[in-house]
Structure formats: structure tokens, C-alpha cells
Amino acid sequence: MQIDSPIPIPEKYRDLPPPERPGYDWGSIAPVAIVHLLPLAAIWTGTRWQDWAMCFALYFGRMFFVTGWYHRYFSHRTFKTSRIVQFIAAFLTQTASQRGVLWWAAHHRNHHKFSDLPWDTHSPIQRGFWYSHIGWIYEKNAGNCDYNKVRDLAKYPELRWLDKYWLVPPTVLGTLVYLTMGASGLFIAFALSTTLLWHGTFTINSLAHVFGKRRFETTDTSRNNWLLALITLGEGWHNNHHHYMGSTRQGFYWWEVDITYYILKAMSWVGLVWDLRPVPETILAEGRRKAPRRRKGPRPPTCATPSTPPSPTRPEYLSRGTCRAAASASIPRDRTYELARKPARSL
């Protein structure tokens, strides 16, 4: 069946059935709408500076767990940790109220596999701003988790339990905030920071494929956006990430601020995490050659040559104008999907 797509569909996917569009589960939208409205109740309770300070702390504190753990650890496995720290981090990560870590990782891996294709979970190119920003979460059956995509994680029963009861961590956090800070703390410190956290996270899906600069010629529309990088602690270097998703670091160069990476690096100094995967020097050299501010003369050829190595992420998705050469053996492969197919050893 012919599927219309603004992005050319690779031959290997042309026989796939069209993605299902079951419509929205309007009942699931009500709790989210309530959280959005709760901060307005502070008009009657009043606020204190402590409420706003805690709102700031809970936004950026939980943003670190969203970016460092939902994304760079559970989705891409770009570093290692112990099983105990893995569970504690999963619990703290889920206080962001973005469902379980297995659900998050499964959907994100699907996003990378079909980036900007019709089967992408949240592509603004395919379905527009609203759907990619938040609408996809409230489709019918959106809460289902395909454990086959996260076999490396699903083998841990404690993570499966946490994924099933994903509302426990945010409920615990909200209760603690209310007991220690009162109603104004609940409305501002918890509800407002959660709302801002949701939309800060969602901007990467909806805006980082539309606004920004493209250093690397990926086959999707991912872009680097310095402003999104600031509000998400480093996730805005999205074109970098889609070109080489195997690194813990998404700000590839010193001038690309990546606070999540800096925190993870500090954690590695005290042994909480280890084996942070770096950006290969070949990728850094490629980016320096392609940086717009350094380009003087004709555009470098996209054909894979020793001076212009191909993308290591998905060589079969190379664009029409690119030689379909295999990725250079000197560039480490991203093994996210291999890990999903073959359970990793216990840490």
C-alpha cells in the first residue's frame, strides 16, 4: 500500500502497513488538564518565595533525571551503573510523571528507528505541532508498552513493577511537597513545575525538528537549538544526537552547553555511574568540517569518502544524494537496538 510521506521511505519499510490512528482517549486528558489548572488556585492561597524556589529546583532537578536517565540511560544505555542506583534513579525519574521508564524507552527507541517517517511516535513533519508536542501521548492504546523493544530493561522485575505502577513516584513527591509546604507549595512547587517540565521535555519532539541549525546531514529533520539546550539541560543539541546517538554527551563541543552530561561526569567521579561513552573523534572531526561558521567555499560532498565519513547511526537510511556506503569501521556503532534484542549482563 502506498503511504504518503514528506520524507522518502526507505525500501526496507515500504511494505509495512500504515500506522494506526485510533483517535484520542479524552478521559486520559482530564488529569493532565487538572494539573495545568492547579497553579491558578494559588490566586486564593497566595505564594511565598520558598514555593517559587522549590518550583525552580523541582523543574531542573527532574529535568536532569528526564534527560540523563529516561533518555541517555534507559533509552540509549550510554553509560553503566549498579542495579541499586538503577532502581533509585528510575524511581526519581518517574517523579516527572512521564510514565514508566520502560514505556518511555520503548517509545523513544521507536522514534529513532522511524525518525520522521510515518511510524515515528511523534514527528512534527508527519502530524504537525500539536500531535508531536503532546497529542500522541493521549491516543488510545498509547499507554501500552512493547517489552520486546526493551528486553534489556524488562528483565529486571523491579523496573517492570515500577513501570506498571508509574504513578507511585509522582504521588509520593506531591504528597511530600504538600505535607512540608502546604497548599501553595502543592500548587506552585509541584503542579507548576510539573507542567513546565512536561512542556520543556515535549519541545524537543515538536520544535527541535523544526527550528535550529543542522550540522550533520541526517535523514530526518533534527536540528540543534541552543535555547532548547538551555531549558532542557543539553537535549537541544538534537541534530548531534540523531547523527550519533551512542554518546552520553549531546553537546559535542565545549561551547555546546550540556549540563546533564556535566552532572553525569561528576557522578562518575564518585563511582555512581561509569563507562560514559564519548563522542568518537571521527564524528567530532566531521562536525568541524561541516560547521557553517567554518565553511569557506563549496559545500563538502555528501558521498562517503575517507575525508567525509558516513553517518554511523543508520547507514541504510542515507539520503538520495549520498553514496550508500557502509559506515566506517573506525566509528563505533550505536548498540541500543542490539541491547534490546539481546539482554545485557546484570550490572
**203-224: pLDDT as tens digits:** 999 999 999 999 999 989 999 9
Of 276, 260, 232, the C-alpha closest to 80 is 276
Contact (CB, 8 A) for 111 and 280: no
| Identity of the amino acid at 105 | A
Q: How far, in whole angstroms, is CA 10 from its chain's centroid?
A: 23
- Please state, for a pLDDT cut of 90, what percent of the chain lies above it: 65
pLDDT-wise least confident of 9-23, 62-76, 166-180: 9-23
271 pLDDT higher than 60:
yes
Q: How far apart are the first and last CA of the chain?
A: 45
pLDDT for the residue numbered 178: 98
Q: What helix, strand, coil percent values describe the chain, rounded to 5?
A: 55, 5, 40
Output the pLDDT for position 224: 97
Say whether pLDDT at 153 is over 90.
yes
pTM of the model: 0.82
307 pLDDT higher than 80: no
Q: How far apart are CA 336 and CA 109, in angstroms?
A: 8
Could you tell me if 124 and 204 are in contact, meaning their C-beta atoms sit under 8 angstroms apart?
Answer: no
Answer whether residue 114 shows pLDDT above 60: yes
Cell of 59: 523543574
Q: Which of 6-15, 126-135, 190-199 has the lowest mean pLDDT?
A: 6-15
Residue from 228, 216, 232 nearest 322 by CA: 216
